[in-house]
Chain A
Amino acid sequence: MRCREARAQIEQMMQDSNGGKVEEGLAQHLETCESCRREAQAVRTLNIALESGRSDDELDMRPLESQRKLVESRLARGEVPKVYSRRPRLRLALSSALVTLVLALALVPFSWQETVGYNLSLSGVDEEIACSDEMMCDLLYSLGLYEADIDPLCCDASTCGVVVLDLKTEEEAGMVLAAVQRLEKSGLKADLIPITASSSETILDRANDRLLGKN
């Protein structure tokens, strides 16, 4: 008999309560194999130990009535057994992970693309207006847009393209468009082009900036 077969029979012996009798083949194997003999000895010891545990220890059993008084008085006093959490380590690990995540979000700088301004591209502007720097600059100054700039583009037959640079908000772009439309009645086309820039800062700094900016 091989050790593997012997182990299987020993396992079976462990689960059966057939009096622990062993087959002749197994008995012969156990005589020659030290390892399997130890295994069988462990199984036999365990079986006997388990069997001994089946006997009831009925000494000093508290009668039901007396137990009832004790239990009800404990309940009346509010003496309830403390319940210990099922997975305290898991709970601790989850809490730690959450704290780490929040700290990472708050303290680690992130890079992102941010809209810092707008360019307004106008096409179909009358050549006279488009090529007159003074007229366009006066128009921007009258709207209070002192940092904005003009960049005339190529012209075709009678109309030109103009890009109004460095507008800060969409509202400013809307004001410029409305002003040009008042001067230019013909077909004017406008495109708003956002100017983006990448920035890197923590969420905490960004929130701080936003709050200060708003205030």
Chain B
Amino acid sequence: MRMKQEQKELFWQYLEPEYKRAMMFCRKLAGERDRGDDLFQDTLVNALRKFDQLRDRESFRPWLYRSIVNTYTSSCRAPWFKRRRPMTVEVEQKLIGADPSREHATKRWLHRAMAVLTPEQHALVTLHELQEWSIAEIADLYRMSEGSIKARLFRARRRMKKAVRAILEQSGRNANGLVLEELIGLEEACAVAKPGLK
């Protein structure tokens, strides 16, 4: 029992420097704050339970993130999660309070693009694109070669691009509506974030 208490103390000590970043990662991975917080707590329960199995304490960080990804992919296999369907643009347009402002527009595009990814690809893109982990760090996390990670990232990006293009083309046919407003928002975002972009 005493040993267990020591293990717990050690776990929280190791977690402390990574606590905020790991929680942010969960929120980004889940795509929403509440679900991200639930995911983080589930991960901590799992991780604390299995902490004594971690032999090399130096590799706590990759172990923790692997645990997050595993908990996330497991939750995506839950029957209730599989029954979820992504919202169509038409449904989004009808939602009361749909905010076409720049920030919300870009977030919505991100969700749409990410919606087509598998949970594994989702985790990979979140780590690399949103958490800005290097390829080497991700390769270390997944225990894979850098080339393999690059290939997976490329496939994920291509998939997202196809989805975005499909929505853009669809929105081109529907001359007005939320998507068009969002595009205007995006154009503004472009102008602010990237002055060189034509």
Q: Which residues of A line the B interface, CB within 8 A?
A: 14-15, 19-22, 27, 38-39, 41-46, 48-54, 56-62, 64, 67-68, 70-72, 74-75, 79-86, 88
Contact = CB atoms under 8 A, between A and B. Distances in A.
A146 B177 CA distance: 100
B44 A81 contact: no
Nearest to B111: A49
Identify the interface centre among A56, A70, A72: most chain B CB within 10 Å of its CB. A56
A6 to B, nearest CB: 14
Contact of B197 (A21, A70, A75): A21
Given A51-B193, A72-B48, 19 more contacts: A42-B164, A43-B161, A44-B197, A45-B186, A48-B194, A49-B107, A49-B164, A50-B113, A52-B107, A53-B28, A58-B20, A60-B37, A61-B23, A71-B41, A74-B41, A80-B49, A81-B74, A82-B78, A88-B77
Contacts of A45: 109, 164, 168, 183, 186
Contacts of A49: 106-107, 109-110, 113, 164
Given A20-B196, A81-B74, A48 B186 contact: yes
Interface string B153-167: 000010011101100
Interface in B57-91: 71, 74-75, 77-78
B94 interface: no
B33 A38 contact: no
Given A42-B165, A46-B109, A81 B45 contact: yes
A155 to B, nearest CB: 83
Identify the interface centre among B24, B28, B106, B132: most chain A CB within 10 Å of its CB. B106
B45 A52 contact: no
B103 interface: yes
